[in-house]
Amino acid sequence: MPQLQLPFFPHGATEINVNLAILREGDSVTYIYGHMPIFTHDVRDTRTFRMIISQLYLNGSVRQTEICQAFGVKPIFVKRSVKLHREKGTGGFYEERRKRGAAVLTPPVLEKAQQLLNDGLDLSEVAEKLGLQKDTLRKAVKAGRLHAVLKKRGIS
């Protein structure tokens, strides 16, 4: 019969379950499984924290509720981390974050739109000529980046 491994956690460690504990020493967090330290990271390194908790969850070493109780995080935090780990692996936690693309109303486009508005075209016509949405131009006028020319109405 195989011998069972007794968990032996150092003094000051916080027990997550019967096999896993965490130990915070200064600015580092160490994860201890049984009696062996398995991983260490900086306290402020949230990407690595998300990676290790999702890996422990996927390995079956810890349950979601145990993570939430031990670290004070919400279940959705754990679920999103696990989803990212499943889809992209550990490298997914360290990818550059996606940023918004270039704005539609760049200075040359604003200049062209203002010229068309000055020529007497209305917002719909300017939007059609420049391949923009009318709402985009309307918001630019409201924000003061464009100035719509008021048409003169004749008195009849």
Q: What is the pLDDT of residue 8?
A: 76
Burial label, 19 (beta-carbon count in 10 A; 0-12, 13-18, 19+)? middle
Per-residue pLDDT reduced to its tens digit, 88-132? 999 999 998 887 766 788 889 999 999 999 998 989 999 999 999
Domain ranges of the chain: 14-93, 107-143
Global pTM reads: 0.62
pLDDT digits (tens, 9 = 90+) for 19-50: 999 999 999 999 999 889 999 999 999 999 99
Phi, psi of 31 (to 5 degrees): -100, 130
As to burial, measured by CB atoms within 10 angstroms (0-12 exposed, 13-18 middle, 19+ buried), residue 31 is buried
Helix (H) / strand (E) containing 28: strand 28-33
Strand 36-42 to 28-33 pairing: antiparallel
Q: Which amino acid is at 128?
A: E
